[in-house]
């Protein structure tokens, strides 16, 4: 019996973490049973899990209890205080950080007791994020209660600048007790490698997407743009609207996703010229996003975020052959390049964006042939079966290190 123990943020509950679906679907091929422990849940419909997957709510808001192991909890804190390079911040925030450590210690005890119910000749432990899940496994690894520990870094759990005090919680401790840390992009790997915190444990492994074939393409139809993201300020969807105000030919623009900025953006879109049509499709499930691309001819995917981890929404569009226009932030250049579309400096102006889109409309990139090249790049770099085979093979290999 071979077992994979996974801690997710919320999958299969809530929205987001669509990539976990693909990770579990591929994990079916390599494991006899999968034990999934989400950390949170809400009232959204429960999503798909493999038949061999058991979902447990054990780690979701467990009742408070007196955790044993003060020396372990102090070890976690002191490792961060002395080794993270953020002495003042960690010292100042002792109370909140130690509360997090204590909570994870309690959850680790619950998890360990629960795992005793399952027989397994070989068990691998994987946290989807470097969050409480990673800390739970790292604590158990330090105690030698488990023999391996793996987690991924995306963006939220990667860049110090996204956190208070430019401090990424428990990176030092988590890295110390991880067998390997998988980073979603080469740019992300380079960033965290420069921190010089167990750099030998870092591996770049792209998330994968399934191939759903070519999308439709109507060369004579209305020029169509698509963006797909949460509507948050840093996604800068308002710059798409400002650019469309300057476009001088008929355009149809769809945005897939919603968020705090929705009403403001709808108001801004009312000032678009008559030849520009804007459609806000709202939050769509991942299957609905795929269905959209299967049914709509899209000339160009566009994202103007001020920060991105890798830009998997662009990859999703590219899987259907749709070229992308993006700004060169985070790991986006690993997705958007001369083989797949247009990569622009972060400082690109509205006028320059207008010129680039106009030029694209009349270029060889807006063609069936180029779209086939875009799909070829996707199949080589981001196809799920290949990427997750590599991922699970590496877990099996490095788990043996103990």
User: How would you write the chain as a 3-class SS string?
Assistant: CEEEEEEECCCCCCCCCHHHHHHHHHHCCCCCEEEEEECCCCCCCCCCCCCCEEECCCCCCCCCCCCCCHHHHHHHHHHHHHHCCCHHHHHHCHHHHHHHHHHHHHHHHHHHHHHCCCCCCEEEEEECCCCHHHHHHHHHHHCCCCCCCEEEECCCCCCHHHCHHHCCCCHHHHHHCCCEEEECCHHHHHHHHCCCCCHHHEEECCCCECCCCCCCCCCCCCEEEEEECCCCHHHCHHHHHHHHCCCCCCEEEEEEECCCCHHHHHHHHCCCCCCEEEEEEECCCHHHHHHHHHHCCCCEEEECCCCCCCCHHHHHHHCCCCCEEEECCCCHHHCCCCCCEEEECCCCCHHHHHHHHHHHHCCCCCCHHHHHHHHHHHHHHCEHHHHHHHHHHHHHHHHCCC
Residue 213 lies in a domain: no
Average pLDDT (122-150) is 98
- CATH number of 122's domain: 3.40.50.2000
Residues of the chain with pLDDT > 90, as a percent, come to 87
Residues 50, 8, single domain; the answer is yes
Q: Please check whether residue 215 lies inside any domain of the structure.
A: no
Rounded-to-integer distance, Cα 356 and Cα 364, Å: 13
Domain that holds residue 263: 223-381
Q: Residue 214 domain-assigned?
A: no
- Total domains present in the chain: 2
Band (pLDDT 50/70/90 cuts) for residue 330 is confident
Which comes out higher in pLDDT, residue 210 or 8?
8
Residues 45 and 186 in one domain: yes
324 burial (CB, 10 Å; 0-12 / 13-18 / 19+) is buried
Confidence of residue 290 (pLDDT cuts 50, 70, 90): very high
Structure tokens at 371: 């779209």
Looking at the structure, tell me whether residues 172 and 237 fall in a common domain: no
pLDDT of residue 67: 67
Cα separation values, 318 from 123, 211, 378, Å: 36, 10, 7
Quick one: average pLDDT of 196-222? 94
- Looking at residue 237, what is its pLDDT? 97
Where residue 12 falls among pLDDT bands split at 50, 70, 90?
very high
With CA atoms as reference, report the closest residue to 329 among 313, 305, 349. 305
Does any domain span residue 216?
A: no
Domain match, 233 and 357 both: yes
Q: How far apart (Å, rounded) are the C-alpha atoms in residues 68 and 74?
A: 12
Q: Is the pLDDT of residue 66 over 80?
A: no
Closest to 378 in 3D by CA, of 342, 343, 337, 328: 337
C-alpha span between 109 and 117 (Å, rounded): 14
Q: Would you say residue 257 has pLDDT above 70?
A: yes
Average the pLDDT over 177-195 and give the result.
Answer: 95
Over the chain, what is the mean pLDDT? 95
Would the pLDDT of 311 be above 90?
no
pLDDT category, 73, cuts 50, 70, 90? very high
Do 247 and 391 fall within a single domain? no
Query: pLDDT-based confidence at 303, cuts 50/70/90?
Result: very high
pLDDT value at position 45?
A: 85
Residue 218 lies in a domain: no
pTM of the model: 0.85
Q: Are residues 188 and 329 in the same domain?
A: no
**Whether pLDDT at 98 is above 90:** yes
Same domain, 263 and 192: no
Tell whether 236 and 372 lie within a shared domain: yes
Of 228, 223, 190, 221, which Cα lies nearest the Cα of 326? 228
Please check whether residues 253 and 153 belong to one and the same domain.
Answer: no
Integer Cα distance of 156 and 139 in angstroms = 21
């Amino acid at each position: 019996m071979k077992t994979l123990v996974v801690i997710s943020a919320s999958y299969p509950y809530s929205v987001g973490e669509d990539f976990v679906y693909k990770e579990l679907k591929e994990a079916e091929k390599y494991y006899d049973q999968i034990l999934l422990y989400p950390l949170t849940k809400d009232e959204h419909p429960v999503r798909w899990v493999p038949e061999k997957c058991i979902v447990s709510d054990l780690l979701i808001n467990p009742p408070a209890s007196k955790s044993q192991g003060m020396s372990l909890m102090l070890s976690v804190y002191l490792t961060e205080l002395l080794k993270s390079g953020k002495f003042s911040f960690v010292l100042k925030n002792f109370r909140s950080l130690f509360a997090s450590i204590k909570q994870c210690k309690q959850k680790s005890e619950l998890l360990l007791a629960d795992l005793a119910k399952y027989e397994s000749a070989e068990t691998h432990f994987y946290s989807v994020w470097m969050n409480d899940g990673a800390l739970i496994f790292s604590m158990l690894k330090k105690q030698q209660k488990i023999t391996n520990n793996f987690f991924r870094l995306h963006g939220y759990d990667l860049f110090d600048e996204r956190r208070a005090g430019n401090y990424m919680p428990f990176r030092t401790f988590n890295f110390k007790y991880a067998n390997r840390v998988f980073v979603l992009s080469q740019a992300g790997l380079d960033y965290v490698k420069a921190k010089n915190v167990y750099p030998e444990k870092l591996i770049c492994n792209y998330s994968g997407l399934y191939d759903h074939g070519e999308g439709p393409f109507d060369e004579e139809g209305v020029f169509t743009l698509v963006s797909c993201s949460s509507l948050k300020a840093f996604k800068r969807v308002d710059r798409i609207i400002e650019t469309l105000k300057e476009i001088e030919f008929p355009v149809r623009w769809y945005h897939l996703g919603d968020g705090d900025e929705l009403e403001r953006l709808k108001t801004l879109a009312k000032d678009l010229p008559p030849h520009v049509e804007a459609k806000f499709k709202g939050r769509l499930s991942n299957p609905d996003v795929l269905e959209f691309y299967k049914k709509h001819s899209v000339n160009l995917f566009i994202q103007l975020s001020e920060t991105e981890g890798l830009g998997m929404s662009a990859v999703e569009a590219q899987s259907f052959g749709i070229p992308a226009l993006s700004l060169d932030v985070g790991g986006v250049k690993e997705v958007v390049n001369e083989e797949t579309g247009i990569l622009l400096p972060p400082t690109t102006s509205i006028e320059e964006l207008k010129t680039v889109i106009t030029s694209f409309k009349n270029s060889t990139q807006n063609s069936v042939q180029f779209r086939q090249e875009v799909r070829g790049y996707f199949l080589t770099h981001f196809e799920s079966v290949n990427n997750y085979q590599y991922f699970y093979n590496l877990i099996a290999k490095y788990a043996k290190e103990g």
